Amino acid sequence: MIVLIVIALCILILYFYNIRTFTYWKVRGVKYVKPVLFFGTYTDMYLQKKSRSQIAEETYRKFPNEKVVGVFKSTIPELVIRDSNLIKRILINDFPSFYSRGLNHTNDVEIIRKHLFAIDGDLWRMLRQRMTPAFTSGKLKAMFPLIVERCEKLQSRTLSAVTSSHALDARELMARYTTDFIGACGFGVDSDSLNDENSAFRKLGVKIFNISLRDSIVLVIRDVFPYSEKYLKLLKRIEPDILLLVKNILTERNYKPCGRNDFIDLMLEYLNKPMEAESIEKVGENPIHVKMILNEGLFAAQVFVFFVAGFETSASSTSYTLHLLAFYPEVQKRVQADIDRILAKHDNKLSYEAVKEMTYLEWTFKEGLRMFPSLGFLMRRSTRKYKFEDINLDIDKGVNIVIPVQALHMDAKYWDDPDEFRPERFHPENFGATQKMVYFPFGEGPRNCIGSRLGLMQSMAGLAAILSKFTVEPAPETVRYPQISPKSNIIQSITGGLPLMFRERKQV
């Protein structure tokens, strides 16, 4: 009997603990999606039926007349922002109140989660300042010969597949190209992902994005009980691989820059030295400065994020652009003509200068990113109490913010015929202030993508390499509107890949 009472009491406590936040939006007069126990409004995400980006898009469409919509990530109140002025406030003007992505609850979890994308506050600011010099256009230009080398390998791998006259998975092909490039440019490791079927780097890339059922369960528990995080090691399966990889590279270089000017060299200059920045967390009349040492763990975490962010985003966007081009042969002809004309001017050689001149290719890639942004939504979390003056709404510290990028990119309010693939939208005469306010393939504000220039150039070079030699067409097994993987919760991916036919172009 006592046991039964204790069980009943536990269930009751759990129930009330779970629903404690569920009136959050109601009392504030915000329209909201009705939550359920444990999952909040994200049942389909936790059960791996829909991605977080798809859920954000559904919410956006369901409430066409609202500026904001309330949802619940498990028990955490979350606000989906539909209005472009409010988005600007959050991402740019009032950034000090939204500098967090809300990814780390306790800040003392796995070493490799202490990377630029996941961390918050002063540690983020110090690392962001420290890493920014690695991404200048000068550094990018210096790296470019390494990109060109990978482009040549990309062409020969594609050619060998063409002769076998089978469809080729564009997603896998581009992931191998970007993995190879990031390995070489970022870490001085010749991973040879393009040729070696069993490349350790490519295997690691696949392992990182392979979300298991265990991971999904861990995510629910972590969201329901945030303080359980330190016991639920989410990235446990890959942490040893990353730490070993970094340790090997450091040992090889004898813990000193070797003159390759890659990320490792740049960070090695600062290893075990203090980083300093003006505090974003503590605000007072006089600026407060904070200091921290860049130790080996933090170092490895940044290597990890550059690897992940550097290959998966570009692979997802370039392969989807190829998929769209296969269904728009007229656009493909135009982009090939643009590439051919500029290559002819540059001695038929890919170079930094040549790729920079390929304006139509740039519009084409940007249009691909509009229709399928690598990150379907942006996240922020309120870091203090905040008032949205325009709609007279007060929120507390710790509320999640979702900017539904995929939905904004496909809203007919901002884009004519949004389902049409039309690179001319990015002609400066057509791409006006209205579109700028809702186009976020690389995010916006102080926490935007640090590698946007590198990502753009790496992607354009890869596309130019393919399209200068090959034409893509749908294969019998190509699905016109491919399914977004319900497991892809940060970087969007496609279930079953993107099979395409690659035909060799006749050179005139």
Distance from C-alpha of 403 to C-alpha of 443, rounded to nearest angstrom: 10
Contact in structure between 455 and 314 (CB atoms under 8 Å): yes
Give me the sign of the Cα torsion angle 412, 416, 419, 424: negative
By the rule CB under 6 A, 306 interacts with ligand HEM: yes
Q: Of 447, 457, 468, 499, which lies in the binding site for ligand HEM, with binding defined by CB under 6 A? A: 447
Report which secondary-structure segment, H or E, holds 402.
Answer: strand 400-403
Contact characters 105-124, ligand HEM, x per CB under 6 A: -----------xx-------
3-state secondary structure of 134: helix
- Sole binder of ligand HEM in the list 455, 462, 482, 499 (CB under 6 A): 455
Q: Which of 102, 404, 443, 462 binds ligand HEM (CB under 6 A)?
A: 443
CA atoms within 13 A of residue 388's CA, in its CB half-sphere: 22
Determine which residue in the list 449, 461, 466, 501 makes contact with ligand HEM, applying CB under 6 A: 449
Closer Cβ to ligand HEM, 123 or 395, answer by number: 123
**Selected binder of ligand HEM within 454, 457, 464, 472 (CB under 6 A):** 454
Q: Which is nearer to ligand HEM, 104 or 158 (CB)?
A: 104
Considering the complex, what minimum distance in angstroms separates the CB of residue 36 from ligand HEM? 28
Q: Cβ-closest residue to ligand HEM?
A: 443
Pick 195 or 448: Cβ nearer ligand HEM: 448
Residue 173 or 375 with smaller CB distance to ligand HEM = 375
Which segment (310-318, 327-335, 341-349, 409-417) binds ligand HEM by CB under 6 A?
310-318
Least distance to ligand HEM, CB of residue 316, Å: 8
Cβ neighbours around 287 below 10 Å, total: 10
Q: Please report which residue ranges of 210-238 form alpha helices under DSSP H.
A: 213-224
> What sign does the CA torsion over 26, 29, 33, 39 have?
negative
Tell me if 128 contacts ligand HEM by CB under 6 A.
Answer: yes
- Rounded to 5 degrees, φ, ψ at 206 are -65, -40
| Residues 350-389, interacting with ligand HEM (CB under 6 A) | 374-375, 378
CA distance 41 to 73: 6
Q: Is 205 in the site for ligand HEM (CB under 6 A)?
A: no
| 100 forms part of the interface with ligand HEM (CB under 6 A) | no
Q: How far apart are CA 324 and CA 420, in angstroms?
A: 10
**C-alpha closest to that of 463 among 202, 158, 139, 143:** 158
Under DSSP, the state recorded for 287 is P
Footprint on this chain of ligand HEM (rule: CB under 6 A) = 116-117, 128, 305-306, 309-310, 313-314, 317, 374-375, 378, 441-444, 447-451, 454-455, 459
